[in-house]
């Protein structure tokens, strides 16, 4: 793929060769089907279009320093899709089928896996949708599981450089007992207006507070939030945020590096006490946060005053990327070689 400028790839969609589909009908999952068609042919009364029966995953494959292609923790993505499916009453995809599909779709599109050292990766988007026709509010009897891939660059244009974030209080991403912990499109749709306004006001992303009391840090737009102080990695414990596999991995890395790890509520006032803060997720890995502005009060919390990511955030980022790209021993057993 010499015609692709790997270093200039956006985080967007680029057509690749193949995708996979699998159908649940008559009470069972069928075989994986390979397709070169980018379009899905579904019934206009499909439950995914009317009642939000859909969920998706985001994950990456990397070409390592040894030339091998690695998937990062696909079993965990499979488990999370299962959680999301159960959350909106869809037929879960067996984890074994999920991992098989991910490995196969990467192999079929291996020429689109960026070369080692280009700062890019192959992004996988597994998705599960209700495709059975239904007019009444009821779960579908038929589902489609599909996986497509596309090569991507950094999620934020800043890459691994500090970003500006805005706290919003007049929007909620998810209700306290709603779907916040499931990776379903409705949560992202609910965040679009706040994020779009934030972009227009000069911020890379927004920081949502808990919907019930507006006292605690919740989700950092499309990513999880974390803060570092006193040799401790702190991240929110909430029923309304997505269970980030990147965050889970960073917590394990932090503990391995000798840091304490705290999963707990983080009041807004605590932002004044952190030495480093960041957003983490599959798309961005880690985005160090340089400043957080409270849109309502005007208060600004500043970090990365030298314009660079903090020491611990940098170490965590470099270690995680080194494991993903085969530069460091994968003693956690996270990678799956394709």
Classify each residue of 207-227 as buried b or exposed e, where b means 16 or more C-beta atoms within 10 Å of its C-beta: bbbbbeeeebbbbbbbbbbbb
Classify each residue of 121-152 as buried b or exposed e, where b means 16 or more C-beta atoms within 10 Å of its C-beta: bbbbbbbbbbbbebeeeeebbbbbbbbbbbbb
Q: What is the DSSP string of 93-108?
A: PPHHHHHHHHHHHHHH
Answer for the pair 268, 217: CB distance below 8 angstroms, yes or no.
Answer: yes
Answer for the pair 275, 232: CB distance below 8 angstroms, yes or no.
Answer: no
Residue that has been written with the tokens 């499931």 in this structure:
182
Does the annotation count 183 as an active-site position? yes
CA distance 190 to 243: 18
Among the options 103, 183, 200, 229, which is catalytic? 183
Strand 28-29 and strand 285-294: the pairing is unpaired
The tally of CA atoms less than 13 A away on the side-chain side of residue 117 is: 3
Look up residue 210 and give its DSSP letter.
P
Positive or negative torsion for Cα 227, 229, 234, 236:
negative
Answer for the pair 116, 67: CB distance below 8 angstroms, yes or no.
Answer: yes
Q: At 107, give phi and psi (nearest 5°).
A: -60, -40
The tally of CA atoms less than 13 A away on the side-chain side of residue 59 is: 32
Answer for the pair 237, 265: CB distance below 8 angstroms, yes or no.
Answer: yes
Which residues are tagged catalytic?
183
């Amino acid at each position: 793929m010499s015609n692709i400028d790997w270093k200039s790839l956006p985080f967007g969609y680029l057509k690749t060769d193949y995708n996979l589909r699998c159908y649940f009908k008559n009470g069972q999952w069928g075989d994986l089907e390979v397709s070169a068609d980018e379009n899905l042919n579904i019934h206009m009364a499909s439950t995914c279009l009317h009642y939000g029966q859909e969920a998706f995953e985001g994950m990456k494959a990397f070409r390592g320093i040894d030339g091998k292609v690695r998937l990062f923790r696909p079993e965990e993505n499979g488990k999370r899709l299962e959680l999301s499916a159960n959350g909106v009453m869809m037929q879960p995809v067996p984890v074994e089928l999920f991992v098989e599909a991910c490995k196969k779709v990467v192999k079929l599109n291996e020429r689109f896996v960026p070369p080692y050292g280009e700062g890019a990766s192959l992004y996988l988007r597994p998705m599960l949708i209700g495709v059975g026709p239904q007019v009444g509010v009821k779960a579908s009897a038929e589902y489609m599981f599909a996986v497509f891939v596309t090569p991507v660059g950094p999620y934020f244009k800043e890459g691994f450089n500090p970003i500006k974030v805005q706290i919003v209080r007049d929007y909620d991403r998810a209700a306290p007992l709603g779907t916040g912990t499931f990776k379903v499109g409705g949560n992202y749709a609910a965040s679009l207006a706040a994020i779009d306004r934030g972009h227009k006001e000069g911020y890379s992303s927004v920081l949502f507070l808990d919907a019930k009391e507006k006292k605690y840090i919740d989700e950092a737009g499309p990513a999880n939030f974390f803060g570092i102080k006193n040799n401790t990695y702190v991240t929110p414990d909430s029923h309304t945020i997505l269970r980030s596999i990147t965050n889970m991995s960073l917590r394990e890395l932090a503990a391995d590096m000798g840091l304490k790890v705290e999963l707990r509520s983080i009041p807004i006032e605590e932002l004044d006490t952190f030495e480093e803060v960041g957003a983490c997720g599959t798309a961005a890995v880690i985005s160090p946060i340089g400043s957080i502005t409270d849109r309502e009060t005007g208060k600004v919390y500043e970090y990365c005053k030298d314009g660079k990511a903090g020491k611990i955030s940098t170490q965590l980022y470099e270690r995680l990327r080194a494991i993903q790209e085969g530069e460091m021993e994968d003693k956690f057993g996270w990678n799956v070689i394709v």
